[in-house]
Structures are given as structure tokens and as C-alpha cells.
């Protein structure tokens, strides 16, 4: 031994030893939020706390202390707050961002040795949170085809017709208005009703076949109106508290001016015909001749509409364009206009959906539309509600879309529409419907999930007072959302036990539990169901004999729940769900 202890290590090993001697003793691991090891930003919303957690530990049993350090966009000034230990080496703290833009944070830990700051350790690089305005996380969206808004059957609707619809939309409680593309529509290969390859002269064609001799992605369809009437719509919508969301369709009809002015942006066969099998053609993003012209031109389309006053865009099928394109475009636009929202209208596979959200899309369509059973809903929203997904993806729950007439609704009747509206309106801060849903429309092309006489290919005028509509219930759902912060985010969701496979039962809550909502939905549109369920008294530290003051918000009734097991009956012909606002009750002093 004595021969060894005095030895110095050979030069080759000294580096490894020195590096170990200088390595920090304190470990900071498993930090959340952290998206792709901090390479990509987590998402936040102005005014809502960003909660940070980390495993912090070192050898032995010495006392540690830790703090959270953060700074907002455009400043070098740091703020900090202590982290609190939760047990088992997990620590937690939070900060509230007060403006939109990129926030950075770090975690610092040190040996709390008689108050002296020693061995301070922090993360090797800051983690990032992109904070957006409130609407990014809390929106009730309504989608309509402007051309169908004419009150006169057969007349093409206009932007002014849409203006006339705004009071009704606002009365229902919506605050975002999604529009399909509003540009000139191509004639070549135009599709007729129900997507038929046979097109009649008065068929309007799909608005997704963007571009004609009258212009492309920056032009307006002449039958909708001119730029002045578009600006009237923008202003009127703003006055009613509705934000316009424009559709970005990254494709061209065969009559788009770009096919002539920029043939190098497309992929051509040797015989001079263009590669496509439909009423529109796709860009060749990676053609050498298309770089960087095409990418810049598409970015400039977005900037054009921003200049016109638009601040929110929905992208049709972004999973069919290169991922680096979206990462660059969103970053480029946000560097000029940090308040612009991007919505990913993608039903691609999970990995693509998640990647798009990570690259900066503010809101994401999800598979909610195809999740119907208690097991499916519980599994899917548990995945969406836990890290890491919770931190980079905000689920936008559309109950239907112009392209998807959900099978469940095709046979469920009015109770089915109430069920799906209640789920969408309470499972995320973001929900939406495509017009016709409130009238319980569900006629489909046989054996498919496509609407019969879909508006994508024809005008559709509707009777907004048709009997059996669920406008009153939707209005009430949106009012409840506005009054309860717990429903204004996808965060704060937990499923509880209801002893009936047809009844789903979950809680929605704010971080401080000062707003606590319990939702019970029967998933059975045909028969009445009853369920006994566990009231989560434990969330407030109450025993199984605790008491909740309860208000059922759809029916406006108040009562108390004594004890953990309670019971409810759901009647499809009346209302197949209930929304309870609860708070702990203590017997008043005598």
C-alpha cells in the first residue's frame, strides 16, 4: 500500500482524475419543463405560473438549498425565487411571466452549510419557455365557410354576410372565428359536389385549391369581397371579441399564378405535365431552384396577412411540409411579431404531431375526435396532461371539422352532440366546432366519415333556429368556461373513479385549487345511466367524511356532498352530463 499511496498518476490518467476532482458534487436532474433536453422551448401563457421541478441531490446527508432564476424577453435582469423540497430529492418553484416572448430559466443549488454559499451548481445551459398571449391557451373556436353565410339560398356569401353572423357567434360565447382559405379558387380539375371529378359550371370548388387567374395566396376570392370588406370583417370581429383565424394551405390549384411565374417551385414530369393527381399541386420544397425563393415567398404570404391585421393562422396539414421549414417560418415570423399564433391542423401520426408542436405551433388538433370510450379518453388525456407532452402541446379539441363527420355522431342523435361538446369544452382550454354541429347535423357519405353535401364543395345555407339545436347548451358551456379559470387551460386535469364504465369522471383545477371543477359525462347517448363516484375530498386534505359545497353549473342548483361516495343519474334526453364547482365546507361556528 505504502508504495502506491505516494504515487502520482501517469500523465495520461491525470486529465480524467482532475476532471473528476473538479466535477460538481450536486446533481440537478429531471428538470421540468424541458422539451428535447432543453433544445426546444416549453410553452407558457401570460399570467399563468410556470412551475419548475427538478431532482436535486448529492452524496451523503448534507442540507441543500436551491433557487429558480429566470428572465423575460429583451432583458438581462434576473429574478429568482427559492425552490421548495417535495421529498425524495424533488424540488419545486414557480414564476409568473407577465409578457409574451422567450423566457429563460435556470436552477441553482448549493450546500446550505451554516448559510454560507459553497459549491454552487447550476444547469449547464438555460432552459427556455416561449410565453404566448392568453388566447394561445384559452379559446372557444367556431369555424364557418363565409360563402355559406348568405341568408338567401343560392347566393354566394360575402364577408359582410359573415359580419351579420357575428352577434350570434358572440352570444354563444365564442371568441375565435376559423375560416377556410379565402382566396381565388382554381378551375382546372375543380371538383364538384361531394368531391365528384365531374364539376358543374356553378360548382364553387374547394377553397383548398388555392389560386386562379385572379390571384394566389395574397388575393381574395372576388365573390367574398374586396380588401375593404375584409378589413370591415376584421374590425367588426374585433369589436365582438372574436379573433379571425386564417387558413394557410401550402399548395396551389393548377391555375395559381406561381405555376407560370415560378415553375421551378414545382415538380414536373419529363413530358411537361405536373406531378399531381388532384385539384391542387404541392410545392417541391427541396428542389434546388426553389431555394430560398419558395420558402421566402411562403413566409411573405404570412407577413402579408399580418400586415393586413391578422394575428392567428391555422395551417392545413403542416405534417406534409418539411419540419425544418415550419421551425424556420414560425421563428422568423415571431421574431417580427411575437403575438402571432399558429394552429397545427394535422391528424398526422403521433410523432409528427408532437414534433410540430415542439417546433412552435401554439395549438394542435388532436385525435380527440376519435377517442370515445372511457378507456380511450382516460389514456389519451393522461398522456396529453403529463410531462413532457403537457409542456409543449396545447390540445385544441374540435368536435367536428369540415372533413370529419365523426362516426359516433352519425348514430348518436342530439345526446351524442351534447356529450362531445361537454367533453371538448371541459378537457382543454381550447375547443371548437364547425358550423352545423350546433344543429346536430350528421348526414354522411355512406360508410365514411365525410359529410354528405360537404361545404368544401358547395354552398350550404342553414336554419339557425332549427328545432333540436343545442345552442343553449353550448352557450352555457362557454359561459361556464369564462367563469372558471380551471377550464381555461389544458393543465390541471385528473381522472377519478366512477363505478360505471359508461360514465367518465374527472377534475379540473387551478394550481392553487382556488377553482375546482368536477365533470361527470355519461358516454352513452341511448340509455340513462347512473353512477356512484368518488368525490376527491383528499385533494383538499379532507377525510372520507368531509363535506363539499357544490354548485351544478349547467342546472344552476346548489347542494352539499357529505362524504366520499356520491351518486348521479344521467338522462340522455335531458342532459347526459353535469359540471360541479366544489369547495370544502366547514360547519359554521354556533
In the complex, the residues that contact a copy of itself under the rule CB under 8 A are 1-2, 4-9, 13, 16-21, 23-25, 27, 29-30, 36-37, 55, 57-61, 88-89, 215-218, 261-262, 286, 291-293, 295-297, 300-301, 303-304, 319-325, 327-328, 331-332, 349-352, 355
Q: Which residue has the cell 430529492?
A: 89
Cis peptide before 384 (omega within 30 of 0): no
- Nearest distance in Å: CB 218, a copy of itself: 4
For a copy of itself, the closer of residues 90 and 193 by Cβ is 90
- Nearest distance in Å: CB 366, a copy of itself: 15
For a copy of itself, the closer of residues 217 and 581 by Cβ is 217
For a copy of itself, the closer of residues 265 and 434 by Cβ is 265
For a copy of itself, the closer of residues 261 and 373 by Cβ is 261
Copy the grid coordinates of residue 179: 375560416
For 481, the 3-state DSSP assignment is: helix
- Nearest distance in Å: CB 304, a copy of itself: 7
- Nearest distance in Å: CB 455, a copy of itself: 26
For a copy of itself, the closer of residues 297 and 424 by Cβ is 297
- Nearest distance in Å: CB 296, a copy of itself: 6
381 CB contacts (<8 Å, ≥6 apart)?
427, 493, 495, 506
- Nearest distance in Å: CB 37, a copy of itself: 5
Q: Give phi and psi for 510, each to the nearest 5.
A: -80, 160
566 CB contacts (<8 Å, ≥6 apart)?
532, 533, 535
For a copy of itself, the closer of residues 13 and 202 by Cβ is 13
CA dist 494 to 427, 486, 568, Å? 10, 12, 19
- Nearest distance in Å: CB 8, a copy of itself: 8
Q: Is 336 exposed, middle or buried (0-12, 13-18, 19+ CB in 10 A)?
A: exposed
- Nearest distance in Å: CB 194, a copy of itself: 24
Rounded CA-CA distance 126/41 in Å is 11
For a copy of itself, the closer of residues 304 and 559 by Cβ is 304
Rounded CA-CA distance 260/23 in Å is 62
For a copy of itself, the closer of residues 35 and 519 by Cβ is 35
235 CB contacts (<8 Å, ≥6 apart)?
none
Helix ranges restricted to H, 62-220: 159-172
- Nearest distance in Å: CB 209, a copy of itself: 18
Q: Which residue has the cell 405551433?
A: 361
For a copy of itself, the closer of residues 30 and 528 by Cβ is 30
- Nearest distance in Å: CB 78, a copy of itself: 26
Rounded CA-CA distance 435/124 in Å is 50
Rounded CA-CA distance 276/254 in Å is 9
Q: Is 327 exposed, middle or buried (0-12, 13-18, 19+ CB in 10 A)?
A: middle
184 CB contacts (<8 Å, ≥6 apart)?
210, 211, 212, 213, 214, 215, 216, 219, 220, 221, 222
For a copy of itself, the closer of residues 34 and 48 by Cβ is 34
- Nearest distance in Å: CB 360, a copy of itself: 12
How does strand 493-495 pair with strand 529-534?
unpaired
For 287, the 3-state DSSP assignment is: coil
From the centroid of its chain, how far is CA 138?
A: 9
- Nearest distance in Å: CB 479, a copy of itself: 39
For a copy of itself, the closer of residues 164 and 303 by Cβ is 303
For 90, the 3-state DSSP assignment is: strand
For a copy of itself, the closer of residues 91 and 548 by Cβ is 91
Amino acid at each position: 500500500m505504502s508504495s502506491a499511496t505516494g504515487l502520482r498518476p501517469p500523465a495520461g490518467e491525470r486529465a480524467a482524475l482532475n476532471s473528476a476532482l473538479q466535477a460538481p458534487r450536486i446533481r440537478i436532474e429531471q428538470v421540468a419543463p424541458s422539451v428535447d433536453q432543453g433544445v426546444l422551448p416549453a410553452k407558457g401563457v401570460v399570467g399563468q405560473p410556470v412551475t419548475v421541478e427538478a431532482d436535486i441531490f448529492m452524496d451523503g446527508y448534507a442540507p441543500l438549498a436551491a433557487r429558480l432564476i429566470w428572465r423575460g424577453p429583451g432583458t438581462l435582469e434576473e429574478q429568482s425565487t427559492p425552490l421548495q423540497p417535495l421529498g425524495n430529492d424533488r424540488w419545486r418553484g414557480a414564476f409568473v411571466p407577465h409578457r409574451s416572448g422567450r423566457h429563460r430559466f435556470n436552477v441553482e443549488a448549493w450546500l446550505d452549510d451554516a448559510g454560507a454559499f459553497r459549491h454552487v451548481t447550476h444547469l449547464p445551459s438555460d432552459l427556455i419557455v416561449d410565453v404566448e398571449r392568453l388566447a394561445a391557451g384559452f379559446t372557444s373556436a367556431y369555424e364557418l365557410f363565409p360563402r355559406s353565410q348568405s341568408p338567401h339560398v343560392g347566393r354566394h356569401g360575402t364577408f359582410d354576410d359573415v359580419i351579420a353572423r357575428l352577434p350570434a357567434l358572440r352570444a354563444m360565447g365564442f371568441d375565435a372565428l376559423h375560416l377556410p382559405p379565402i382566396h381565388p379558387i382554381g378551375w382546372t380539375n375543380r371538383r364538384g359536389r361531394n368531391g365528384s371529378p365531374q364539376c358543374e359550371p356553378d360548382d364553387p370548388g374547394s377553397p383548398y385549391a388555392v389560386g386562379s387567374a385572379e390571384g394566389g395566396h395574397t388575393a381574395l376570392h372576388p365573390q367574398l369581397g374586396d380588401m375593404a370588406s375584409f378589413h370591415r370583417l376584421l374590425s367588426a370581429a374585433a369589436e365582438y371579441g372574436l379573433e379571425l383565424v386564417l387558413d394557410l394551405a401550402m399548395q396551389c390549384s393548377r391555375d395559381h399564378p406561381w405555376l407560370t411565374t415560378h415553375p421551378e417551385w414545382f415538380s414536373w414530369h419529363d413530358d411537361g405535365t405536373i406531378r399531381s393527381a388532384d385539384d391542387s399541386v404541392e410545392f417541391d420544397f427541396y428542389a434546388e431552384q426553389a431555394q430560398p425563393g419558395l420558402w421566402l415567398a411562403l413566409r411573405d404570404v404570412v407577413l402579408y396577412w399580418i400586415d393586413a391585421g391578422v394575428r392567428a393562422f391555422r395551417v392545413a396539414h403542416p405534417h406534409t411540409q418539411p419540419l425544418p421549414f415550419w421551425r424556420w417560418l414560425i421563428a422568423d415570423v415571431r421574431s417580427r411579431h411575437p403575438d402571432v399564433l399558429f394552429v397545427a391542423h394535422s391528424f398526422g401520426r403521433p410523432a409528427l404531431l408532437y414534433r410540430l408542436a415542439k417546433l412552435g405551433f401554439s395549438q394542435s388538433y388532436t385525435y380527440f375526435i376519435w377517442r370515445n370510450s372511457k378507456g380511450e379518453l382516460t389514456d389519451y388525456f393522461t398522456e396529453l396532461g403529463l410531462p413532457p407532452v403537457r409542456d409543449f402541446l396545447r390540445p385544441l379539441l374540435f368536435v367536428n371539422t369540415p372533413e370529419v363527420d365523426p362516426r359516433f355522431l352519425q348514430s348518436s342523435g342530439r345526446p351524442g352532440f351534447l356529450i362531445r361538446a361537454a367533453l371538448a369544452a371541459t378537457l382543454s382550454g381550447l375547443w371548437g366546432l364547425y358550423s352545423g354541429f350546433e344543429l346536430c347535423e350528421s348526414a354522411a357519405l355512406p360508410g365514411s366519415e365525410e359529410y354528405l353535401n360537404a361545404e368544401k364543395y358547395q354552398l350550404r345555407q342553414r336554419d339557425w333556429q332549427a328545432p333540436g339545436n343545442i345552442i343553449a347548451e353550448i352557450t352555457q358551456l362557454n359561459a361556464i368556461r369564462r367563469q372558471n379559470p380551471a377550464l381555461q387551460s389544458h393543465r390541471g386535469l385528473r381522472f377519478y373513479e366512477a363505478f360505471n364504465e359508461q360514465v367518465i369522471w374527472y377534475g379540473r383545477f387551478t394550481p392553487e385549487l382556488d377553482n375546482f371543477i368536477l365533470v361527470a359525462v355519461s358516454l352513452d347517448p341511448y340509455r340513462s345511466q347512473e353512477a356512484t363516484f368518488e368525490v376527491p375530498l383528499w385533494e383538499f386534505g379532507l377525510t372520507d367524511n368531509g363535506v363539499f359545497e357544490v354548485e351544478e353549473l349547467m342546472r344552476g342548483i346548489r347542494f352539499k356532498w357529505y362524504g366520499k361516495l356520491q351518486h348521479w343519474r344521467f338522462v340522455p334526453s335531458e342532459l347526459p352530463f353535469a359540471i360541479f364547482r366544489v369547495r370544502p365546507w366547514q360547519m359554521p361556528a354556533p
